[in-house]
Amino acid sequence: MKLNLIYIVFFGSIFGCFAQKDSLQNPYFKSYDDKVTASIYYLDTSNNFEIAYNSVGQKKYVDLNPNRREQMGVGLSYKFVDISFGFAPKFLSENKDNSDSKLFSFNTRFYYKKWMQSFTFINQKGFYISEGPVNVFLPKMRTTKIGGTTSYIFNDNFSYKTLVNQNEWQTKSSGSFIPTFSFYYTNLNLNTEPDSSNGDIYVFSLAPSYFYNFVISDRVLIGTGLAFGAGINDVDGDVSALYQLDFNLKLAYNRDRFFAFASLNTLNFLQNDSAEARLNDNISTVKFNIGYRFDPPNKVKEVYEKVNQKTGL
C-alpha cells in the first residue's frame, strides 16, 4: 500500500508538471526548466526521536537513533517535477556491520505558479535506544514516515528552486516570506517478540518562514532559511501542542551545464514538557551534490507538447 502511494504521487506530479506553462524569464534568476537536470549525491540523513515518559513521578527521556544513516542517491528534474531516490550502500563506512539495518528515502516536489508541494517517504530499520549512558540495540525496530509540505512563495523575484533543486539560479540577491503547512504520519514498530509494539504519530503544523539567496558572484551563492511555527501532535490518540523549528543552509556553484553544492537542512517537531506522551521528531540532512544539465530527448519534448496542447492549460 505504501509503495502504491509513492507511485500515485510520483506519476501525479509528472502529469501535474505536463499541465503547466513555461515560466517567463525573470531578471532576478535564470530558469533551466527546458533542460533535464541530473545529479548524484551523498547525504548523511536520519529521522531521530526523543520519547519522554513519567516513571515514579519523574520525567524520563529515551532517544531513538537509527543505526544506518549514510546514503547515496540520484536526482532528476524536468519542467515542474523534481524527484530523488536515496539508499544506504554497505560500502560506506557508517553502514558497515550494521546487522541488516536499512534506510530508504523517496522525495518528490512539484510547482504550480507560486505554490510548491513536496512529498516524503522514509523507511528505517535498526535503532539504538539510549537512556543516559545505557544503549540498547533493536535490530528489528522499524519506522515508516509518509508526509509532505504545502508552501506559498510570496516574492516573484525569489527563486525557491535555486535553494532546493538547482534547475533555477538566482542572479540577483532576493528573499521571500514563505508560509508552510506540514503533515506527517509516522509508524513506529519495535518488532519485539512475542509482543510487537506499534505507535502511530500524526503531525500537523503551520510554520511562517523566511528564505534568502545571497548572490556572491555570477557562479557562487549562499542560500539560507529559517522557519518557526506551531501545530498539534497525535500519539496514539493523545493530542498535544507542538512547535516546529527548521533551518536551511546552502553553498552552491553554478555553470549552465555543471553545478555543485553542499547543504544542511533540519526539520524539528518539539513538544513542551506538559505533554503526557512527548515524542520529539527530528529529520536532519547533510548533502553534497554534483550534477549536469542537458537537452531533453526529442521524444520527451514531443510527449510534453502533446499533453500540454490537449489540456489547453
The secondary structure of 26-67 as a DSSP string is BTTEEE-TTSEEEEEEEEEEEEEEEEEEEETTEEEEEEEEES
Per-residue burial over 277-306, b = 16 or more CB atoms within 10 Å of its CB, e = otherwise:
bbbbbbbbbebebebebeeeeeeeeeebee
Query: Per mean pLDDT, which range of 50-54, 165-169, 211-215, 250-254 is the poorest?
Result: 50-54
Tell me the pLDDT band of 269, cut-offs 50, 70 and 90: confident
H or E segment at 158?
Answer: none
What are the pLDDT digits (tens) for 20-45?
A: 344 456 789 998 888 888 899 887 77
Share of the chain above pLDDT 90, in %: 31
Average pLDDT of the chain is: 79
The span from the CA of 149 to the CA of 116, in Å, is 8
Summarize pLDDT for 182-232 with one digit per residue, the tens: 999 999 887 766 555 678 889 999 999 999 999 999 999 999 999 999 999
Q: Quick one: pLDDT at residue 2?
A: 43
Question: What average pLDDT does range 263-286 have in this prediction?
Answer: 77
Task: State the CB neighbour count (10 A cutoff) for residue 143.
Answer: 21
Q: What is the mean pLDDT of residues 268-290?
A: 76
Q: Report residue 278's pLDDT band, with 50, 70 and 90 as the boundaries.
A: low
* Average pLDDT of span 125-134: 78
**CB within 8 Å of 228: residues ≥ 6 apart:** 207, 208, 209, 243, 244, 245, 246
User: 124 versus 25: which is more confidently predicted?
Assistant: 124
pLDDT at 19: 37
- DSSP H helices in 144-267: 160-164
Mean pLDDT for 98-113 is 77
> Could you tell me if residue 312 is left (phi over 0), alpha (psi between -120 and 50 degrees) or otherwise beta?
left
Which SS3 state, helix, strand or coil, does residue 7 take? helix
Instruction: Tell me which of 133 and 172 has the higher pLDDT.
Output: 172
* Residue 154 binned pLDDT confidence (cut-offs 50, 70, 90): very high
Cell representation of residue 140: 528489528
pLDDT at 85 over 60: yes
Query: Cell 498539534 identifies what position?
Result: 232
| % of the chain exceeding 70 in pLDDT | 76
Residues 223-249: b if buried by 16+ CB within 10 A, e if exposed = bbbebebebebebeeeebebbbebbbe
pLDDT tens-place string over residues 66-84:
776 677 888 888 776 677 7
Instruction: Give pLDDT, residue 22.
Output: 41
Residues with Cβ < 8 Å from 185, sequence gap 6 or more? 145, 146, 147, 200, 201, 202, 203
Q: Is the dihedral of CA 263, 50, 228, 205 positive or negative?
A: positive
Provide the whole-model pTM: 0.75
Exposure of 127 in the CB half-sphere (CA atoms within 13 A): 24
CA distances from 122 to 14, 46, 83, 273, 276 (A): 21, 9, 14, 27, 26
Cα separation, 204 vs 185, whole angstroms: 9
Residue 188: per-residue pLDDT: 84
Q: In this structure, which amino acid lies at residue 216? A: I
Contact 127, 138 (CB under 8 A): yes
Residue 134 has pLDDT above 50, yes or no: yes
